[in-house]
Amino acid sequence: MRFVRWRKVLRDLVSHRFRTVLVVLSIATGIFAVGVVMGGRAILLREFNAEFTASVPLNADFFTMPFGDQIVRRARAYPGVAEAMGRHTATLRYRWPGSDAPRSLLVVAIKDFHDVTVQRIVPEDVRSWPPRRDEVVLERAALQVGAYKIGDTLVVETRTGEKKTLTVSGFAHDINAVPAQFIGAETGYVSFETLPDISEAESYNELLVAMKGTDLTQREASLLAEDIKRDVLGNNGIAVLGVYVPKPGSHFLGDIFKAVSLLLLALGLLSLLLSGFLVVNTVSALIAQQVRQIGIMKAIGGRASQVTWMYLGLVGIYGTLAVVIGVPSAAWAGKRFIQYAAGVLNFRVSSYVPPDWVTALEVGVGLVVPLLAAIVPIRLGTRTSVVRALTDTGVDSTSFGHGIVDRALGLLRGLPRPVALSLRNTFLRKGRLLLTLTTLSLASAVVMSVFSVQASINQTTDDLDAWWRYDAQIRYPQPTAQAATERVVASTPGVTGVESWIGALATLDRPDGTTMEGIGLLGVPYNTTFIAPTVLAGRWLQAGDTDAIVVNTDARQAEATLDVGQRVTLEIGGEARVVRVVGLIKGQLSGPALYMDRAALAPLLPQAGITQTLVKMASSDSAAQRSVLDVAENRLEESGYRVASTRTQAELRDQIASELGILVAFLVIMAVLLAAVGVIGLTGTMTINVIESTREIGVMRAIGARHGSIYRIFITEGLVVGLMSWAIGTAAAYPMSYGLTALLSGAIGLPLSYRFSWTGVSSWLGIIAVISVMASALPAFRASQVSVRDAIAYE
Amino acid sequence: MSEIIAPGSPEGTLLQLREVVKVYDSGDVPFTALKGIDLDVHTGEFVGIIGKSGSGKTTLINMITGIDHPTSGQIIIDGTPVHRLGENDLARWRGRTIGVVFQFFQLLPTLTVLENIVLPMDFCHMWAPKERVERAMNLLEQVELADQANKLPAALSGGQQQRAAIARALANDPPILAADEPTGNLDSKTADAVFSLFERLVEHHKTIIMVTHDNDMANRVRRALHVSDGEIVEERVHRPRVGA
């Protein structure tokens, strides 16, 4: 090398291998955290949006009485319509050898699988495509709930009560299908020829419409859907049972995506900040160690600019090495993260390559942040007068003893001498202590906040149990006799109570002429003891409420006109009724719902009868409850009452938990990642602190300190710093976790029950204590192995 | 063998200090380390600064090398008003004008002996890069360390490290060598060898200013300045021995 000074830079890297590894690891950890979080978020959104857009999502979904190709052609030709297709859907009960309990299958029959123009389906692992007669291709999310194999047979129960067999002929992917784990029903694709075999008519009963325009608003989509309903369907004698108009461009998991995305963004920014502090702290410590050498170089003719460039070069090499380690590691971990996310959220990934801006951000964290962080300490170091630099011991002998804290520590009496020394040592380098505490407190706060957000989610699902005062639910495909079904179910061994509800779909007529179709309206006895709703505003139903409804928070979120005190027009049973919103209750993670007194709703419906039976059971064991429910279902079938679905509340809770579980899983991943940043930060800081104290260790050993005494001093110092950061982090975690929980609540449209996680606080205390001890003991051990002479002469 | 003379200011001086005062403010009470020092040193002189610990001798040599700044007064070396230079100009000036030798050698631990000697040439852009190694080897030969050139400082004895530090101080062929207790960390035999090396350098017209508290060493320098309480209280000029 032409210039010797650059040799010094390289030798410093090589000869202080321990320090080099620490610094590079600290910076690489920062890159890793930012890369995984920001890169993961960017890839997640890019890949999901690309696949969702390519699938041609629908803008209006019409559930109708049977229709044919003529209607589809008219819909396609309708102004404003980009694509339209018809299909036949039916939900059937089925049994599968892999499971004891009956399950639900959403059968989707398509006439021409090569001409799917809306909500495209991609075959993935199929023996035959399109599926042949009596074959079913399952949506791949089914694999998340069961070990289905090609060749398995599903015994489905048709509308007429017959049992038919469908053979699984493969798996396909449909990004628009609700994953099985979220709805407790698998989606299966069959050919039209199969329909008669399962007692379904060979006609369409669902019209899917994709509209023109990239910036379509929901109002425009609703208005066009109204026109299509009237002109294409109604005027051609096709009765419409319900219309679903999603917010254009939004997926049914949009809220979860929004929440995950927001969470990742918030945590990504926090990790960026954390990484910044980590790097600043590490580089400052590094430069502090080099002050004496800077002095020597200046004494033999080195100019400040030359020395500055040398150390910037050193930091640049550290950064480059960290980038070389951090970027590929982040890409690797990011890929695993996306694979996990793609599995649970059911989307395909065509590329795991992060966008350029993420790579630029990683390089920025690895190179620019360390260089910026180094500028101030390097300038301070090179500006230090030579005489001061040459006498530098890392500690200004006048730096301790003047502040309030120093004086307070000086007043502490009765402490063992090594403990007093540790406490005072902690406050010796106040600038470093401040940086270290900021980094570790931030990491502590973020990790504990993540614990609290997770606890809040768990609290929210726990609250469901408080709302549900029943154990299972039986749904019927059409209105059924209340007294007879109640008698059959109530006489089933293990059943302790029954209550019947009426479920209907209502249409909300908005003042602006648009409608909101297919809102769930539940007829519930006003004095029910089967639920305990949490009233957020107004009141619950009461006797004599003939025109009163109570709305849940999901409905309020979806429709602003459903405010307490408002009068709204609902189409119930084909008739418009003006009702009063008398109360707002907390939603139960099962979508928008309106509640009306059963006695008031029953006369408004064209067909008498109840649609669901709620069951209380003696046993609280979920498997026992499932057995009781299966017996009840069989008894109902034997008595001539067809059952559409049965579900224990434990099963529903599991489904909801699996949906929120995505958030919990993401949070856990983030907590682990940020904890790793914190732990490596703590280790690096502690280690550098001890390395800097090598000379002091030499002095202490020279005056008779044994290894044990030295360990105790540094371990106590490490523990003090660790505990201080834990205490500050705990104080900061409360507002931070409250904010994160509120952010999530807003994103998923559900008021989460906030709970501060003391488990998280105590767990982090344990982790930080162990890490503090380990991070201090190892370098103290290394330092104590150095001879007294070398320790005192340590540069 | 020696006579006491009053401090003077002969013409043709290489180094002039006028009314140099240094006050330290680090404690509760300001401490005056130098109380108006006047000093002239001629080219080729071998000057010893002698005094007890805390007398101000190290502060005085730090003023001369520009390692520390005077609170007031003037320092003019080879025509350069050192007291007016900023840190950056001082570093450049020092690299070319004064070679500094420290009590604890202060070789950079991660560079070999040879590289430590090339470093000042590198900093001050002296000699062509290819010639620097050759020159460094010549200097190492002069201090009898050529065979240790590629070792790291930690592998050398104290005396060898100090000779390497002297070679480094000579790297840019400065007219002045300033040494702060250069033998303070060495045994008497090694200290004697280092002192002999200084004497040879003086014969080659180098000006050497050396701080020492060793009276034996002080008796061997041409001119000895005794510092006490921040003042030069005594100056002795030793006449060369006959036949020396």
Enumerate the domain spans of chain A. Answer: 1-57+252-394, 58-244, 398-466+654-795, 472-619
Mean pLDDT of A191-199: 92
Q: Torsions phi, psi of B210, nearest 5?
A: -130, 130
Whether A9 and chain B come into contact, CB under 8 Å, resolves to no
> What is the reported pLDDT for A579?
92
**Which one of A98-107, A316-325, A581-590, B190-199 scores highest in mean pLDDT?**
A316-325
| Chain B contact set for A383 (CB, 8 A) | 87
Confidence of residue A187 (pLDDT cuts 50, 70, 90): very high
Whether B155 and chain A come into contact, CB under 8 Å, resolves to no
Q: Closest partner residue to A301 among B69, B106, B172, by Cβ?
A: B172
Q: Count of residues for chain B?
A: 244
> What is the reported pLDDT for A327?
93
The residues facing B147 across adjacent strands are none
Residue with tokens 């009237």: A230
Enumerate the domain spans of chain B. Answer: 44-57+84-238
Question: Are A7 and B87 an interchain contact pair (Cβ–Cβ within 8 Å)?
Answer: no
Residue with tokens 């990011």: A334
Closest Cα in chain A to B27: A398
Mean pLDDT of B161-172: 90
> What is the reported pLDDT for A527?
93
Mean pLDDT of A519-539: 91
Ramachandran region, residue A476 (left: φ > 0; alpha: ψ -120 to 50; beta: rest): beta
Mean pLDDT of A71-84: 94
Q: Could you tell me the pTM of the whole model?
A: 0.71
| More confident site: A31 or A793 | A31
Nearest-CA neighbor of B77 among B170, B14, B18?
B14
| Chain B contact set for A3 (CB, 8 A) | 122, 129
pLDDT tens figures, A340-385: 888 877 888 999 999 999 999 999 888 988 888 788 888 888 888 7
Q: Closest partner residue to B92 among A7, A301, A383, by Cβ?
A: A301
| More confident site: B41 or A517 | B41
The Cα A22–Cα A269 span in angstroms is 23
Whether A487 and chain B come into contact, CB under 8 Å, resolves to no
> What is the reported pLDDT for A747?
66
Asked if residue A417 has pLDDT above 80, the reply is no
Asked if residue B34 has pLDDT above 90, the reply is yes
Q: How far is B4 from chain A (nearest CA, A)?
A: 32
**Which one of A236-245, A426-435, A692-701 scores highest in mean pLDDT?**
A236-245
> What is the reported pLDDT for A443?
81
Confidence of residue B4 (pLDDT cuts 50, 70, 90): very low
Q: Which of A81-85, A437-441, A613-617, B236-240 has the lowest mean pLDDT?
A: B236-240
Confidence of residue A786 (pLDDT cuts 50, 70, 90): low
**What are the structure tokens assigned to A36, written together?**
């995984």
Percent of chain A topping pLDDT 70? 89
> What is the reported pLDDT for A277?
74
Mean pLDDT of A255-262: 73
Q: Which of A767-776, B137-146, B166-175 has the lowest mean pLDDT?
A: A767-776
| Chain B contact set for A301 (CB, 8 A) | 91-92, 94-96, 120, 123-124, 172
Confidence of residue A420 (pLDDT cuts 50, 70, 90): low
Whether A120 and chain B come into contact, CB under 8 Å, resolves to no
Confidence of residue A787 (pLDDT cuts 50, 70, 90): low
Contact A788, A698 (CB under 8 A): yes
> What is the reported pLDDT for A82?
94
Asked if residue A264 has pLDDT above 80, the reply is no
A/B interface, count of CB pairs below 8 Å: 89
Closest Cα in chain B to A795: B109
> What is the reported pLDDT for A646?
87
Q: How far is B2 from chain A (nearest CA, A)?
A: 34
Residue with tokens 């009596």: A134
Q: Which of A2, A4, A398, A399 to mutate to test the interface with B (most CBs of B within 10 A)?
A: A4
Asked if residue A72 has pLDDT above 90, the reply is yes
DSSP single-letter state for residue A522: E
Question: Are B119 and A298 an interchain contact pair (Cβ–Cβ within 8 Å)?
Answer: no
Q: Which of A85-89, A160-164, A669-673, B43-47 has the lowest mean pLDDT?
A: A669-673
| Chain B contact set for A308 (CB, 8 A) | none
Contact A551, A594 (CB under 8 A): yes
pLDDT tens figures, B205-242: 899 999 988 777 778 888 999 999 999 998 888 765 44
Predicted complex ipTM: 0.80
Kindly give, in sequence order, each residue whose CB lies less than 8 Å from that of residue A384, ignoring residues fewer than 6 positions away: A291, A294, A295, A392
Q: Which of A161-165, A673-677, A721-725, A753-757 has the lowest mean pLDDT?
A: A673-677
Question: Are B106 and A302 an interchain contact pair (Cβ–Cβ within 8 Å)?
Answer: no
Asked if residue A134 has pLDDT above 70, the reply is yes
Nearest-CA neighbor of A716 among A514, A419, A460, A436?
A419
Helices (H), A119-217: 180-183
Mean pLDDT of A447-471: 84
Percent of chain A topping pLDDT 90? 32
Q: Torsions phi, psi of A239, nearest 5?
A: -75, 135
Whether A391 and chain B come into contact, CB under 8 Å, resolves to no
Mean pLDDT of A728-742: 90
Mean pLDDT of A448-460: 86
The Cα A682–Cα A687 span in angstroms is 8
Nearest-CA neighbor of A117 among A65, A59, A171, A156?
A59
Whether B227 and chain A come into contact, CB under 8 Å, resolves to no
Q: Which CATH architecture describes the domain B44-57+84-238? A: 3-Layer(aba) Sandwich (3.40)
Confidence of residue A170 (pLDDT cuts 50, 70, 90): very high
Whether B97 and chain A come into contact, CB under 8 Å, resolves to no
Please provide the average confidence, as pLDDT, over all residues in chain A.
84
| Chain A contact set for B27 (CB, 8 A) | 398
Closest Cα in chain B to A793: B104
Question: Are B95 and A300 an interchain contact pair (Cβ–Cβ within 8 Å)?
Answer: yes
pLDDT tens figures, A481-524: 999 999 999 999 999 999 999 998 888 888 777 777 778 899 99
Whether B67 and chain A come into contact, CB under 8 Å, resolves to yes
> What is the reported pLDDT for A85?
95
Question: Are A301 and B109 an interchain contact pair (Cβ–Cβ within 8 Å)?
Answer: no
> What is the reported pLDDT for A174?
92
DSSP single-letter state for residue A58: -
Look at residue B24 and give its three-state secondary structure. Answer: strand
Q: Closest partner residue to B91 among A11, A304, A390, by Cβ?
A: A304
Nearest-CA neighbor of B97 among B83, B82, B113, B117?
B82
Q: Which of B26, B110, B125, B131 to mutate to test the interface with A (most CBs of A within 10 A)?
A: B110
The pairs formed by A654-659 with CB atoms below 8 angstroms and a separation of 24 or more are A655/A181, A655/A182, A655/A183, A655/A184, A656/A461, A656/A464, A656/A589, A656/A590, A657/A461, A658/A181, A658/A182, A659/A181, A659/A182, A659/A256, A659/A589
> What is the reported pLDDT for A674?
73
Question: Are A303 and B88 an interchain contact pair (Cβ–Cβ within 8 Å)?
Answer: yes
Residue with tokens 């410590």: A285
Question: Are A297 and B123 an interchain contact pair (Cβ–Cβ within 8 Å)?
Answer: yes
> What is the reported pLDDT for A771?
83
Mean pLDDT of B181-202: 83
pLDDT tens figures, A204-213: 999 999 999 8
Question: Are B91 and A298 an interchain contact pair (Cβ–Cβ within 8 Å)?
Answer: yes
Confidence of residue A387 (pLDDT cuts 50, 70, 90): confident
> What is the reported pLDDT for B2?
37
Q: Count of residues for chain A?
A: 795
